[in-house]
Amino acid sequence: MNCMTRSLSDRQLIDYFKEKSALIESWLDQLLPAEDDPPEELHQAMRYSIFAGGKRLRPILSLATGEIFDAREDELFTAACAIEMIHTYSLIHDDLPAMDNDDLRRGRPTNHVVYGEAMAILSGDALLTHAFQILANYQSSNSDRKVRLISEIAKAAGSSHALIGGQVLDLQSEGKKVDEETLEKIHRAKTGALIRCAVRIGAIVGGAGEHDLNVLTEYGEKAGLAFQVADDLLDEIASSDELGKTAGKDASKKKATYTALYGIKGARHLAERLSGEAISAARSLTLDPGLLPDIARFIVERRS
Amino acid sequence: MNCMTRSLSDRQLIDYFKEKSALIESWLDQLLPAEDDPPEELHQAMRYSIFAGGKRLRPILSLATGEIFDAREDELFTAACAIEMIHTYSLIHDDLPAMDNDDLRRGRPTNHVVYGEAMAILSGDALLTHAFQILANYQSSNSDRKVRLISEIAKAAGSSHALIGGQVLDLQSEGKKVDEETLEKIHRAKTGALIRCAVRIGAIVGGAGEHDLNVLTEYGEKAGLAFQVADDLLDEIASSDELGKTAGKDASKKKATYTALYGIKGARHLAERLSGEAISAARSLTLDPGLLPDIARFIVERRS
């Protein structure tokens, strides 16, 4: 990794993430139902998990990709927020007692711990539904593109090689010996599909041509897998304090992980290789890839 | 009710429901992921609840409304199926142990009893997501109308005065003394919003003008409430065998019901009044209301 050009220092990249996160959070705040709109408890539960300190990786990938093409800002932010709502709903449902049974996420009690299981299920349902509502309702004269965005996002959130399908595979593989191919299939679907979609959304809103869209799809796929491998490494190595969730939990639940399959050293090499491939893909764009190479590097070097 | 003209005999109406149900089920079969598409268990769970013998009231309302305007058939069936998928997901999630904890629906074990809680949550999530996928993906050159349909359906499935919000209110009112206003608010949202939407969808696909759309919205609201009152009556009066679910369950769970509030006689009068108002609304259309009056009558006279 040392041979790569770094266009931004770590400090600058962290500042970029902070700045964009603040913008995304202000958009999320505007796009979500208000806390005092009835039913208040549901809307509070939705906001509790949305504003629980996530990294905003997916919407930031949409923005960083959109910036390359000077994409229309309101359309970009709306689509990016829809993806973040879907990501958050999936975390709320994954944390439920009937699923991964996690009490802690990002250092805070999970949604069902605070609001109860029924409200957690419903607030997840509502975030998923609201994502499509905001996509259908933003001001735009380009309905063809709106439909395309809805189609892309619904597909990535779906059951076939996508978000929900990945969670099913993950649950089914608990306690089983999982091979390389299955592990990759799980993560391409569970984490990869939405990250890939986040990148594609930025390109589609920006009106990218076919070559660039293909190259960015490749970038999104590699970056998504790199992110998951790095996540497994963090889960294995970091303390619970740094992670804000129970460290080593995946391993103790006999979940399929990259560290279990390749060991720490092997997983680290894999993360770096995938990140390198994402960077190469970004560099083969017809335009300056902006921050995409830096983000692909950051994904595997992060500490939380 | 005796003064009303009956354009179809009960037998003819039942045959219409049967014929349309068969068509809707064939569309649902085509529009859902195949059972042997991975993840198989998830797709089986989705299909289990979709093909569990529902009355198909919502899609039939879309079809009967669309027929008035000679609406485009593929668009009508796609939107009607999306609504049925959303209705089914809401039943799967409502039946969960953390919600209403129902073991039986339409005479068959509920989704989580057969597939486990995790798969039931995920199959509900997948049906909701798939509804938007099919809406975004059917062949159409009219993207404006597609966006409008998605917006209408997402709103009816949402949290504000809509499906999810109604379930929240319903859960929150369990065991409490509920007044008329609250009960109506629950059912306008929980059952009413999607039934109203089903009617509006038929009108929108058919290109109905503003007067007709307003009149049909009124029809949908009244018919939706009439349906709920009739449901409470059936729950109170019928045996479990006839209902295919545990009879008297709502009352025993201290759920807010119209029979608890008005007594059986009062609730029956209310159902007939609402049905009559729906019929009047349908008759004030600029076109022949087709089967809508008969369906509004059937809603309150049904035995299951």
Report residue B80 as tokens.
């009607």
Interface test with A, best of B133, B163, B170, B185 (most A CBs within 10 A): B133
Q: Where residue A239 falls among pLDDT bands split at 50, 70, 90?
A: low
Residue A98 forms contact with B (CB below 8 Å): yes
pLDDT of A4 > 50? The answer is: no
Residue A2 in any domain: the answer is no
Q: For chain B, give me the number of helices (H) and strands (E)?
A: 15, 2
Interface test with A, best of B41, B75, B100, B122 (most A CBs within 10 A): B122
Residue B106 in any domain: the answer is yes
Residue B39 in any domain: the answer is yes
- Average pLDDT (B48-74) is 96
pLDDT of A222 > 80? The answer is: yes
Quick one: which of B301, B294, B298 has its CA closest to B279? Answer: B294
Residue A93 forms contact with B (CB below 8 Å): yes
- Average pLDDT (A215-224) is 98
How do strand A104-105 and strand B104-105 relate by DSSP bridges? unpaired
Using CA atoms, how far apart are residues A65 and A52, in angstroms rounded to an integer?
Answer: 25
pLDDT of B29 > 70? The answer is: yes
Residue A1 in any domain: the answer is no
Q: Where residue A219 falls among pLDDT bands split at 50, 70, 90?
A: very high
**A154–B129 CB contact, under 8 Å:** yes
| The model scores a pTM over 0.90 | yes
Per cent of chain B over pLDDT 70 is 93
Largest Cα–Cα distance in chain B? Answer: 55
The number of domains in chain B is 1
pLDDT for the residue numbered B4: 46
pLDDT of B10 > 90? The answer is: no
pLDDT of A78 > 50? The answer is: yes
Q: Report the residue from A43, A132, A147 with minimal CB separation from B154.
A: A132
B274, B279, B282, B288 alpha-carbon torsion, rounded to 10° = 170
Using CA atoms, how far apart are residues A284 and B40, in angstroms rounded to an integer?
Answer: 38
Using CA atoms, how far apart are residues A232 and A267, in angstroms rounded to an integer?
Answer: 8
Using CA atoms, how far apart are residues B106 and B84, in angstroms rounded to an integer?
Answer: 15
Q: How far is CA B186 from the centre of its chain?
A: 15
CB contacts of B122 in chain A (<8 Å) are 93, 164, 167-168
Q: Where residue A249 falls among pLDDT bands split at 50, 70, 90?
A: low
Residue A145 in any domain: the answer is yes
We report the CATH number of the domain holding residue A151 as 1.10.600.10
Interface test with A, best of B115, B123, B129 (most A CBs within 10 A): B129
Residue in chain B lying closest to A145 (CA): B143
Using CA atoms, how far apart are residues A49 and A51, in angstroms rounded to an integer?
Answer: 5
Q: What share of chain B is helix, strand, coil (3-state, %, to 5)?
A: 70, 0, 25
CB contacts of A118 in chain B (<8 Å) are 96, 98-99, 171
- Average pLDDT (A225-233) is 94
Residue A146 forms contact with B (CB below 8 Å): yes
Residue A101 forms contact with B (CB below 8 Å): no
Is residue B172 a contact partner of residue A41, using CB atoms and an 8 Å limit?
yes
pLDDT for the residue numbered A3: 41
Q: How far is CA B256 from CA B93, B190, B244, B265, B301, in A?
A: 19, 13, 21, 17, 22
pLDDT of B3 > 90? The answer is: no
- Average pLDDT (A152-162) is 97
CB contacts of A164 in chain B (<8 Å) are 42, 122, 125-126, 129
Classify residue A265 as exposed, middle or buried by CB count within 10 Å of its CB (0-12, 13-18, 19+). exposed
Residue A5 in any domain: the answer is no
CB contacts of A87 in chain B (<8 Å) are none
DSSP A98: T
pLDDT tens digits, one per residue of B276-287: 999 999 999 999
Q: Where residue A85 falls among pLDDT bands split at 50, 70, 90?
A: very high
Residue B1 in any domain: the answer is no
| First-last CA distance in chain B | 20
- Average pLDDT (B84-96) is 98
- Average pLDDT (A271-295) is 97
B191, B197, B203, B204 alpha-carbon torsion, rounded to 10° = 180
Higher-confidence residue of B98 and B244: namely B98
**B43–A116 CB contact, under 8 Å:** no
Is residue A148 a contact partner of residue A133, using CB atoms and an 8 Å limit?
no
Q: What range defines the domain where residue B206 resides?
A: 10-301
Quick one: which of A66, A69, A70, A64 has its CA closest to A7? Answer: A64
